[in-house]
Structure 1
Amino acid sequence: MSKVLTIFGATGKQGGSVIQTILADKKLSSEFTIRGVSRDINKPAAKELTAKGVEMVAADLSDADSLVSAVQGSHTVFVVTNFWETMSAETEELQGRAVTDAAKAVGVQHIIFSALLNVSEASGGRLKHIVHFDSKARIAQYMRDSGVACSFVWPGAFMDDFVQYIRKSGDDEYILALPIDGDKAQMPLFLASADMGKFVKLAIVNYPKYIGKDIFAAAEYLTPNQLMAEWSEATGKKGKYVQLPEDIFKSHMPLPAAQLIYENMLLMQDPGYFAKGELAPFLNAIDEKPTTWKEFARANQDKW
C-alpha cells in the first residue's frame, strides 16, 4: 500500500513544483499517493491536479480542524506558509504551529518545511524588520521541538522577482538598481516554480538522512554585477548594475514593506541569505540540476 504525501500550497509555486517532481518520478509516484491541499479545490489549477491523479482536499492553515483532516493518514507532509497573504508574521507563525500540531496529533512521520534564516539573530539585531524570515525560523524551531521528524528546505532569492527589478533606462540600456555592493553581495538565485521539488525530493528519497537538517535550495550565488553580465549575455541586450542610496531605493518600494525589502537586500551582503551556507553539497546530491540565472534570462527575454 502506498504512503500518503500531503503537500500544502499545492497550486502555488513551491507546492506545485513538489507535486510535478513527484509525479515525474516513477518510483516515488508509485511509492506515494499525492494529496494536495488548497483552500479552494474547485479552482482551475486544483482541477488540473485532480485530473493528474492528485487527491485534492480543502483546508486552511488558519483553521486547525481542517488541518487535522488534511494530514490524516499522511507519512510525509510538505508545508509552505505565505507571509505576504496577511502581511502578519504572527499569523504566519500561528499557522505553522497549527499544522505542526495537527501533524503530531495524527502521527505524521516526516515534515518538510519551506524555512528561512532567523535574520534578527544572525545579524545581531541589526536587521530586525525581515519579519517573514524570522517567523519561518521560529516555525522551524517549533517543529524541531515538537518531536516530529523534520527537514528544512530554504528557498533562495526568486529569479522571477528580477523581471521587475531590471528596468529599461533610455533607448537601449537596462539597469538593475539595488542598495547593495555590486561585487560583495551574494544572491542565491532560485526558480521555485521549477526547482523546489528537486530539493524537497532530496529529503524524501534520503529519509532519514536530512532529519533535523537544512537544505539550501538555489542554483548559484551571483553578485549583482555578475547577474547583469550574465543577463546581457543571455538576452543580447545592454545592461548594468547601479548601487542606489537607501532613501532612493526605499522611495520606489511599496509601503509598509519598504524597510523590510531594503533590509532583505542588505541581508545578501551580510550576514548572507543562507548565512554564507554552501550550495555545493546539495547541488551535488540532487539528480536533476536547477535552472541557472542565464537559462532563466534567456527563456524569459521577451519580458524585458
Structure 2
Amino acid sequence: MVDRTPRNRGRMKPESKEPIMSSKKLIAVFGATGNQGGGVVRALKARGEFNVRALTRDPSKYEGPADEAAEADLDRPETLAAALEGVHGVFLVTNFWQEGTDETKQATAAIQAAKAAGVDHLIWSTLPNAEAISGGKYKLPQFSGKAKLDPIVESAGFPHHTFVVPPAYYQNFSGPFGPQPQPDGSLGWTLPIDPTVRCFHMGDIDELGDIVAGAFARPDQVGDGAYLPLVGDFLRFNDILDALRQQGHQLSFTQVPLEVYANFFPGADALGETLAYYEDYTYLGPNASGGRIALANEVAGKTPTRFADWARANFRIEPAPQR
C-alpha cells in the first residue's frame, strides 16, 4: 500500500496565514458547519490522533476547532480536488433537505474526487433503503437516496471504507418537530403513529462524531464496509412521553389517521409516510442488528446517551408567542 501520509506540508488556516507542521494524518470533513460534520470535527480533535480540515463553502467564515479550513462546494466539483489534496481520510455527508440538492450528483462527485486524490479511508453517512426494505411501499427519498449510493462507495476501490448511520435525532423532539399547542389547550403532539409500537432508533446526533473518529482510528476493524449505527435508545412514542412527563413536562398525544394528518400542513404527507415506515419496519429496519450497534459503541469507546438523560439536560419548551 502506498503511504499517502502528508510529509509535514505547510497547511494553513486561511485566517491565520501560519503553517501547521505535523506528521499526523489529515482528515477532511464535509459539512463541517452542520450537525453531523460539526460533531465529527469536535470528536476528531478530542481524540487528538489526526489533523482536521473543515470543508465549507466559505472557509474565511469558519470559526470551529478544525486545524484548517478549505473551500469545498459539492455543487461545484471543480473545488474538490484542491480541498482533498494530501488527505488521508474523508467524512462525507450530504443534506437532502437543502433546497435544490441532488444527493446522487453531489456524493458521486465527492467520491470520485476522493479516489483521484488517493484518499485511504472514506466514511459515508448513509441511511436504510426504506424503498427496498418495504418492497416499494414506502419511497422515503431522504433515506433511500443515501442508501442507493452505498454501492458506489463500495465499488470505488478505496483501501478502506465505512458506513455510519445516524439515528432519529433527539434534537428533533425539542425543535421544529417538538410539542405544539393543541386545540384542547394542551401542549403535545398529534401524529399518525401508534404510540405503543417500539420503532424509534434514536440518538444525540452530536455523538455520531465519536463513531466516525473511532472508525478512522481503527480501519483494520471497520474499514471493510462495516455499518455503524448510532443508537442511544430504541423507544415507543409512549416511552418518549413518559420520560418527559417524569421530568415535569405536561405533554399530550393524539393519534390520527394518516389520511387526516396528510392535510395538516405542507409536507405532512411525507412526514406521515416516514412515521408509517417506522411503525411497520422500525427506523433502522431489519438492519438494526445488535451486533452492528455493539460494534459502533465499541469503536466509539462509549455508550451513547439515553434519551431521558439527554432530555434532562437539553429538552426545553419554547414559550408560545404572545398574540
Specify if TM > 0.5.
yes
SS at match of 2:196: coil
**1:60 shift after superposition:** 0.4
**1:281 shift after superposition:** 4.0
- 2:214 is aligned to 202
- Is 1:7 aligned with 2:66? no
Alignment of 1:99-110 (within 5 A): 99-110=110-121
From the CA coordinates, give the structure whose radius of gyration is larger. 2
How much is the aligned-residue C-alpha RMSD, in angstroms? 2.0
Q: Of 269, 273, 296, which residue of structure 2 is paired with 1:263?
A: 273
Alignment of 1:139-150 (within 5 A): 139-148=149-158, 149-150=160-161
SS at match of 1:135: helix
Pair 131,17 (structure 1): closer, same or farther in 2 beyond 3 Å: same
Which stretches of structure 1, 4 residues or longer, exceed 4 Å deviation after superposition?
Answer: 170-173
**Residue deviations 1:124-181, cap 9 Å, x none?**
00002x1121111122221111112310101000122212332244788432222111
- Is 1:21 aligned with 2:43? yes
Q: How many residues align?
A: 288
**1:272 shift after superposition:** 2.1
Q: What is the rounded CA distance, in whole Å, between the counterparts of 1:280 and 1:242 in structure 2?
A: 34
SS at match of 2:316: helix
Q: What is the rounded CA distance, in whole Å, between the counterparts of 2:143 and 2:56 in structure 1?
A: 23
- Is 1:67 aligned with 2:80? yes
**1:284 shift after superposition:** 4.8
- Structure 2: tracts of 5 or more residues without a match: 1-22, 319-323
Q: Of 162, 166, 171, which residue of structure 2 is paired with 1:151?
A: 162
- 1:225 is aligned to 238
Pair 294,173 (structure 1): closer, same or farther in 2 beyond 3 Å: farther
Pair 55,113 (structure 1): closer, same or farther in 2 beyond 3 Å: same
**Residue deviations 1:48-89, cap 9 Å, x none?**
22xx4521001101111211111121111000101111355x
Q: What is the rounded CA distance, in whole Å, between the counterparts of 2:271 and 2:184 in structure 1?
A: 29
SS at match of 1:242: strand
**8 A contact 1:157–1:188 mirrored in 2:** yes
**8 A contact 2:263–2:269 mirrored in 1:** no
Q: What is the rounded CA distance, in whole Å, between the counterparts of 1:199 and 1:110 in structure 2?
A: 14
- 2:312 is aligned to 298
TM-score, normalised with respect to structure 2: 0.83
- 1:250 is aligned to 262
- Structure 1: tracts of 5 or more residues without a match: none
Q: Of 34, 39, 50, which residue of structure 1 is paired with 2:57?
A: 39
